[in-house]
Structures are given as C-alpha cells and as structure tokens.
Amino acid sequence: MSVKDPFHLAVQVRDIDEARRFYGDFLGCPEGRSSASWVDFDLYGHQFVCHLNPALKDAGVSSHKNPVDGHGVPVPHFGVVLEMDAWEALAQKLREHGVAFEIEPYIRFKGEPGEQATMFFYDPSGNALEFKAFKNREEQLFKKS
C-alpha cells in the first residue's frame, strides 16, 4: 500500500521473534530492515518499528482506559484506519483465531457524525491496537459533531 505521507511509529516489545510472528506472520505486515534488537514492518504503508525491551518479559497490559461511547478505550493505542471491507476481513480473521478483544468489533457513534467501525486488542507485548473504518472515510474521518 502506498501512503502519501507515511508515519513512523516505534514501540517496545518483549521478544523480537514474537513480534515477527504477530505483526509479520499473523497480521501480514511485510518485514523491512532489522537487527537483533529491532525490526521494521510495513503497517499498511507506514513504517512501524518494534524495539526489543527485555524488561517487558513479565509486563502485562498497563494501559490507562478512557471512557468513549460506553467503553474503556486503552490509552495509549495505535492502529490504522482501513477501508470497511478490509476492516471486516480483519475482524473476522481475529475472531477466527481467538484473539481476545479489549473492545469487540462494533459500530461506534451510530447515526452520528464520525460513525465508525472499531475494535481494540493487544499485541503479545501489551501494546494496545485499534483498527477502525468509516463508511465514507474522506467525509467522516475528521468530521466534527
């Protein structure tokens, strides 16, 4: 996927091989450059880097939760705004593989400006991920209520 202005995001992970299996093999993100302590992934056209932090070995999920639309949204989190069909396919794949959702896939702000499909889950190192989609991304992504 080509993005006009790709972002660069780096997160810490407890195990590089585990990150490769999750982001590369499971989520399908192509791998770029790497070393023994970090690995680049193409996350839907964005440069996403996992840096090894062995101190996370015993760390659990430690995100703060902020109330949004009746749910506790983990903060910090990151993810990608997908096209609706890609979001639905990802949600189905995650369900089929028994991924534990922090917030199950659903439609947020139904009938309001900014209506969106969203889901939250964690990677093996406890990084919170949100993937979302809009019926009409160009009109709704930054629409004010």
Q: Are residues 90 and 27 in the same domain?
A: no
**Cα–Cα distance measured from residue 133 to residue 47, given in angstroms and rounded to the nearest whole number:** 20
Q: Do residue 74 and residue 31 come from a single domain?
A: no
Domain that holds residue 119: 64-140
Residue 104 and residue 51 share a domain: no
- Identify the pLDDT of residue 135: 81
What is the number of residues in the chain?
145
Cα 134-102-86 angle, rounded to 5 deg: 30
- Domain presence at residue 3: no
Residues of the chain with pLDDT under 70: 1-2, 58-63, 138-140, 143-145
| 136/68 same-domain check | yes
pLDDT of residue 128: 95
What is the pLDDT at residue 14?
94
Residues 45 and 68 in one domain: no
pLDDT at 48: 97
Global pTM reads 0.89
Q: Specify the pLDDT at position 109.
A: 87
DSSP collapsed to 3 states, 64-127: EEEEECCEEEEECCEEEEECHHHHHHHHHHHHHCCCCEEEEEEEECCCCCCCEEEEEEECCCCC
Q: In the prediction, which pLDDT does 8 show? A: 96
The domain tally of the chain equals 2
Indicate whether 81 and 126 sit together in one domain: yes
Q: Phi and psi (nearest 5°) for 17? A: -65, -40
Q: How far apart are the first and last CA of the chain?
A: 30
Is 109 part of any domain? yes
Q: What is the pLDDT of residue 145?
A: 58
Q: What is the pLDDT of residue 51?
A: 98
Q: Are 38 and 49 in contact (CB under 8 A)?
A: yes
18 in a structural domain: yes
**CATH code, domain with 20:** 3.10.180.10
